[in-house]
Structure 1
Amino acid sequence: MAEVDFTKEEIDNFIGFHDKIESYLYGKSSGSVYFMLNKNFSRIGRALLFVKQAREARNLAYKISNYCSAFETLFSTDSAELSHKLSERVAFFMANEFNKIETFKTIKKAYSVRSKLTHGDCLEQKQIDLLGELSTSIDNILRSIFNKILTNESLKETFDSPKNKIDSYFEALIFDEKS
């Protein structure tokens, strides 16, 4: 594993950012001491808990499955065409940061792994060989998503809104209309 260096300023900035996130979640009764399946728990907080579980998982397939749950928590509003709709929404949401087609394909691959794990199926060896790379890719996408959401009050409000507002946001984003 590569060594990473941080300046004191970078660490101080991270501490400030972390404190803002914790304050936001506390204000939403959505910190780690609250039950995450409560109706009033923040979607953002729930997704962050899935990311925490993913990062603690030793098995790459479980890690990817938890990352998929984080995507689902943030981007889904129903179970219809879930894999496609989620992949599309993430790709359009992150279009300025990542290539849309590559993002779409990456999320689809992750959902394929999650589906096989959840339904007790097996992976092909070539899929197993790519789990580390896939896990790193979706971790990077999620990190960018959270940075984008958590630094923008309007996006925080949108992602912690009722399902119909989230649907409207993505319809406008995907079909290039004003939301």
Structure 2
Amino acid sequence: MNISVGKHFLKVVDEIPQIPEDIQSRFSNINPIRFFPYNELSRLNRAYMFLSEARGTHAIQSKVSNYIMCLECMFSTDAIEITHKVCERVAFFINDENHTKKAIFELIKSAYDVRSKYVHGQKLPSKTSTFNQLKELSEKMDDLIRRVFLKIIKTDTDVFSFGDTPLNEYYKDLILE
């Protein structure tokens, strides 16, 4: 006995028809499942992977979600208060005269709100529920991450090879000094 999803309900069916092998083989290479050693990737490699996924998808909510995961790879060191820490750390890390820390913090917080609602299957927040609002958020996040990567490449590459404990200390110094 198997469960099948109907148009508006679940129904139990005795047999699910099988797709003929010749048809299956035509589609076997469309989206093959691949394994890669995620845990062996560096913090920056994982971040770049999520950035690539963000830039490669057409689903704008997924794009924003991947931008957040990209930032988490670089700016989180534990599982406590991740949203606040990432928003704050990125704001202090960028620290340029064109964008206030508060504006950067709020931008990332808005992206976190979209990501959270999206991955948990809820309706998006009203301030980011239209295409134009999401497009603007996505473009701002892409620009922010571009600036983060440029700063890392130019000045702080070594910092991001630290383990979690020394990186956490780096962020404390960055914010509290």
For normalisation by structure 1, the TM-score amounts to 0.74
Determine if contact 2:57/2:63 at 8 Å carries over to the other structure.
Answer: yes
> What residue in structure 1 maps to residue 43 of structure 2?
43
Residues 35-114 of structure 1 aligned to structure 2 (within 5 Å): 35=36, 37-39=38-40, 41-96=41-96, 98-114=99-115
Paired-residue identity, %: 39
| TM-superposed deviation, 1:85 | 0.8
Contact preservation (8 Å) 2:89, 2:175: yes
Whole-angstrom distance in 1 between the partners of 2:135 and 2:44: 25
- Matching of residue 138 in structure 1 with residue 149 in structure 2: no
Give CA deviations for 1:37-85 in whole Å, capped at 9, x if unaligned.
Answer: 123x211111011000000111111000000000000000111111111
Deviation at 1:160, TM superposition (A): 1.5
Structure number with larger C-alpha Rg: 2
Q: What residue ranges of structure 1 are gaps of 5+ in the alignment?
A: 1-33
Which structure shows the bigger proportion of residues in strand conformation?
A: 2
8 Å contact from structure 2 (residues 113, 125) kept in 1: no
Q: Distance in 2 between matches of 1:110 and 1:160?
A: 26
| Gap change, CA 1:126 and 1:88, over 3 Å in 2 | closer
Identify if the C-alpha distance between structure 1 residues 78 and 132 changes in structure 2 by more than 3 Å, giving closer, same or farther: same
Q: Which ranges in structure 2 are unaligned for 5 or more consecutive residues?
A: 1-34
* Corresponding residue number in structure 2 for 1:20: none
Separation (CA, whole Å) in 1 of partners of 2:103 and 2:37? 31
- Letter aligned with residue 109 of structure 2: K
Normalising by the residue count of structure 2, what TM-score does the alignment of the two structures yield? 0.75
- Which residue type is aligned with residue 102 of structure 2? I
Distance in 2, Cα, partners of 1:79 & 1:112: 17
Q: 1:92, CA displacement in angstroms? A: 0.5
Q: CA deviation at 1:157?
A: 1.3
Aligned partner letter, 2:121: G
Change beyond 3 A, Cα 1:87–1:124? closer
Partner of 1:31: none
Measured in 2, the distance between the counterparts of 1:133 and 1:117 equals: 17
Q: Which amino acid aligns with 2:60?
A: L
The answer (yes or no) to whether the contact 1:36–1:46 under 8 Å persists in 2 is: no
2:170 — aligned with what?
A: 169
Alignment of 1:112-151 (within 5 A): 112-129=113-130, 130-151=133-154
Deviates more, 1:43-52 or 1:117-126: 117-126
State how far apart, in whole Å, the 2-side matches of 1:174 and 1:117 are.
Answer: 30
Alignment partners' CA distance in 1, 2:36 and 2:167 = 23
1:75 is aligned with what amino acid? Answer: F
Q: Distance in 1 between matches of 2:148 and 2:125?
A: 30
How far apart are residue 96 of structure 1 and its match? 1.8
Aligned-residue CA RMSD in angstroms?
1.5
Moved over 3 A (4+): none
